[in-house]
Amino acid sequence: MSRASARRLSPFRVRLREARKARGLKQRELADAAGIKAGMSICQYEGGQAEPSLMTLASLCKALDVTADWLVGLSEEGGPE
């Protein structure tokens, strides 16, 4: 599988957007809530053009109230309610 194909299929980018929208947050609002300096990062994460560090992943999970396992596609439990 090519790197581009893996990015398109990444559950992380799909679930990040799903959780953000479920919380009614804009990309900039999520970046602020997670302590991410560049709002463009959320756009890059959702577009599959970048992946967060572990610290950023933890901050996103906290801001979205989801588990890391759910956000990266390892579990069907722990997503937005």
pLDDT tens-digit series, residues 21-73: 999 999 999 999 999 986 678 999 999 999 999 999 999 999 999 999 999 99
CA distances to 6, 26, 38, 74 from 31, rounded to whole Å, are 24, 9, 7, 23
**More confident site: 17 or 81:** 17
Task: Just give the CATH number of 3-65.
Answer: 1.10.260.40
H-run or E-run covering 11: helix 11-22
Q: What pLDDT score does 38 carry?
A: 67
Q: What angle do CA 57, 60, 64 make, to 5 degrees?
A: 140
pTM equals 0.85
Q: Give CA–CA dist 40/61, Å, rounded.
A: 18
Chain Cα centroid distance, residue 40: 13
Ordered by start, the domain boundaries in the chain are 3-65
